[in-house]
Structure 1
């Protein structure tokens, strides 16, 4: 039987058909627009997300030969993006606040100044930052007129995109444990909403979804012409980690999508970071609870989009590789990619992007290469933080649209001095959701068996650069970054 994966990303929503051995037999995609009503604000139309998702899903169901040919549905999604809706009408009450949004930076800073961050991290594994969903919920209640009165009426439902899609598909208000763990409201070890955290952020627990496993009997939908089981649901970064087969302690993956997200499994032991990384839930399947250490960088592929759409330096993403190869170095240019603040391990929501070292000798190719190098250095910074937390990467598996760039894959290996492996098929996020759905539907005997059966082959990049050159590049980056952080 075929598995239908609904992959709701930041810039597009897709539906993919996977066979039980991991082969992709169909894909459909629609763009999802974002709006930027004020500096630092990022919003999307939640109803448009659902309509796009339903559209590509219906297209793939027809491609498969009808609902009877779909054995299971798996869902994966951009995490932390918040939707508020009315339970009775099923309609969104406000624009979705996207994970990139920084409007609650002052509120998070006030909570941090009041000394609450240690307690938040101890319980949820997360830090006080606008990235996470809890402060977005409070903002909606305080500032959006259609949300403000909903808690008293008992109509308010909050949820991330998985929860929103699950509601539209089944009518149930649920969130899988991986997505729930990103709200800064869940007790990471108990797997339930924490009353003290809800009180701290001023979020009514009645508005929160039921937390469910990431695989198993998660509901059924009749939206596509017949009853289909939903048997997998997972946040995109956990999905990519599973889809890369990184379930054991020390195994690490990095996804280069809109942002850069690195996770290293810690197995059944919850990690506690001393270097401002995040503890997150990797897998909950009813029998196992696996954890991971995570580093989140807000800018990766969005840097290439800026080069193309805003700066006009390239006509296509693919052009960045040839331009980076056309020059020997970055011409003395360093770009600090803090377009929406800096994420891990710095967590500076107040930072702005900057370009350093401009001279009349700088060419377009130098700027493009410096932009790619900024992504490499950001990943190397994460690797150093992981190592300082006793979770050093012995090798790194990479995925995401940006990593199709061979120059970038090699530069990562060079700057981190480790083997970098890229799957022959980079659809790791969708594959992880398919693995969970296949396990939940009984097509494979558990998640580990699904991973073993559906994992693709890999190509490897070994370090080539001279150690002195590596050290010089890293030292220059650190020096300029430290100046920018002051």
Structure 2
């Protein structure tokens, strides 16, 4: 039996899961992370805390499992970047998180090239992606060391290798999505021509070995977090989609071996590179999901995400929320947007505000479902869902009501780790097929739409009008914020 230590290094937490070859978790360890949020769109993490969380959770999980581990897999948070000393491995800057908006200045500088960048990369010129943050870091923080996404730094600290995976590289704006390789012209365009970039590895490749968790172990199954979840949830064929409800909410749909260019404001990237094939996916992002719940927690409306169902009002009182607490992504792509709450009266209570945030997240994801359907040329027939917020029945039911399709909840809280573990098993067993590595699963819950079509359409229409009005109001503000 193959046993894998799969580490999911995320924005709000690092999770280490030891799983067997059926995907059954043998041990789990978690460490909370709290990014630093500050004015001006600042979202940063302490690299030392990231590394410590990987080592600590991994070692605790291995000790708890009490059995030999055959490989280590690593899923990463995607577009977060830092500068570091390649000789010593020491970080030279904070980690600039994917939510950070300071690189909007770099995007504005390159606005005239936006169409060419989109055509080459399948992405939108936005500070969400890696390259603008890398360029901003070089202009404002340091010219020393190398600047990469966090996965390359963590893998270097574990193995000494200088690598990234194809899915993570495709999220950079430095990657030709059709050739599935770095693009020298784009690298020069962002002013990064002198930068050494890591080798792009397959997700099912052994990239090195590590002794960080005990005996020397191969490191394989390297992949960006959202694509790892797409794999774990069995979205292996074109048209199959999932949404992960974590710090943000991320909807991805498999498009097969064609890098479909979205006509709807979505982005296209590599799903994974495994068994010699490179399938693609389209995806849309909601920047604040669990982070919006944390905002509610910080304000004292709920004690934790586990309180959402208990606190949320059974019905809306007309209060609407556009939870753009870190800007809006597809289809608006407005990093300057801020959140909107409207429709409140003297009878509005905390439960109504909580429900408004829940429905606001669901409305954004429902918008993404429509955009994915437009790009695929056929409506989605179901949406698979994973992530911590899927424990909220209120959110999942709102999602089904607004998207007008069944929502199937993945039975494990560890989709990202399980996807990475499946890729590691492929690396260890050349005869194993992708579908066999992923395995079968049954949803822990299925939420069917309960609202009428008319009610859902009315809510979506009003909510979209509020979102659009907020953006127009923001254009009048000197800082460019919405609301």
TM tier, smaller: over 0.9
Matched, 1:350 2:322: no
Task: Confirm whether residue 430 of structure 1 aligns to residue 431 of structure 2.
Answer: no
Does the 8 A contact of 1:233 with 1:433 survive in 2?
Answer: yes
In structure 2, the residue matched to 1:335 is 321
Matched, 1:320 2:308: yes
SS at match of 1:349: coil
After superposition, residues 323-402 of structure 1 pair within 5 angstroms as 323-324=311-312, 326-329=313-316, 331-389=317-375, 390=377, 392-402=379-389
Q: Which position in structure 1 is the counterpart of 2:76?
A: 77
Query: CA contact under 8 A between 1:20 and 1:438: conserved in structure 2?
Result: yes
Report what 1:41 is aligned to. 42
The 1:482/1:38 distance shift into structure 2, 3 A limit, reads: closer
Deviation at residue 286 of structure 1 after TM alignment: 4.5
Residues 401-442 of structure 1 show CA distances to partners (whole Å, capped at 9, x for unaligned) of: 011111211111111111110122232111111111111111
The equivalences for 1:14-413 within 5 A come to 14-65=15-66, 69-112=68-111, 115-144=112-141, 147-148=142-143, 150=144, 156-204=145-193, 206-309=195-298, 311-324=299-312, 326-329=313-316, 331-389=317-375, 390=377, 392-413=379-400
Go from structure 1 to structure 2 and tell me whether the alpha carbon gap of 1:55 and 1:399 turns closer, same or farther (over 3 Å shift): same
Measured against aligned partners, the alpha-carbon deviations of 1:179-224 in whole angstroms (never above 9, x if no partner) come to: 1111110111212211110111001354211111011222111222
1:484 to 467, 470, 475: 470
Structure 2 equivalent of residue 153 of structure 1: none
Q: Secondary structure at the match of 2:305?
A: coil
**SS of residue in 1 equivalent to 2:460:** helix
Deviation, structure 1 residue 257:
0.4
Inter-CA distance 391–137: structure 2 relative to 1 (3 Å threshold): farther
**CA 1:50/1:449 → structure 2, altered by over 3 Å: closer, same or farther?**
same
CA deviations 1:16-43 (Å, max 9, x no partner) are 1101111011011112232234431111
d(CA) in 1 for partners of 2:446, 2:33: 33
Moved more, 177-186 or 467-476: 467-476
Contact 2:184 2:193 in 1 (8 A): no
Bigger CA drift: 177-186 or 26-35? 26-35
The root-mean-square deviation of aligned C-alpha atoms, in Å, is: 1.5
Once the 2 structures are TM-superposed, how far is the Cα of residue 10 of structure 1 from its aligned partner?
A: 0.3
Q: TM-score, normalised by structure 2?
A: 0.94
Question: What is the CA–CA distance in structure 2 between the aligned matches of 1:123 and 1:472, rounded to whole Å?
Answer: 38
Structure 1 position 274, deviation (Å): 0.8
Contact 2:358 2:394 in 1 (8 A): no
Greater mean deviation of Cα atoms: 441-450 or 217-226: 441-450
What is the TM-score normalised by the length of structure 1? 0.94
Q: Distance in 1 between matches of 2:444 and 2:351?
A: 30
Q: Deviations over 1:427-478 (max 9, x none)?
A: 211111111111111187032211125x454431111212221122112112
State the 1:110 CA deviation: 2.8
* Aligned partner of residue 284 in structure 1, secondary structure: coil
In the alignment, the residues of structure 2 paired with residue 481 and residue 126 of structure 1 have an alpha-carbon distance, to the nearest angstrom, of: 23
Gap regions ≥5 residues in structure 1: 151-155
**Whole-Å Cα distance in 2 between the matches of residues 5 and 456 of structure 1?**
22
Question: 1:100–1:131: 8 Å Cα contact kept in structure 2?
Answer: yes
Contact 1:241 1:263 in 2 (8 A): yes
Quote the offset at 1:353 in angstroms. 1.0
Mapped partners of 2:80, 2:364: distance in 1: 23
* In structure 1, distance between residues paired with 2:410 and 2:85: 42
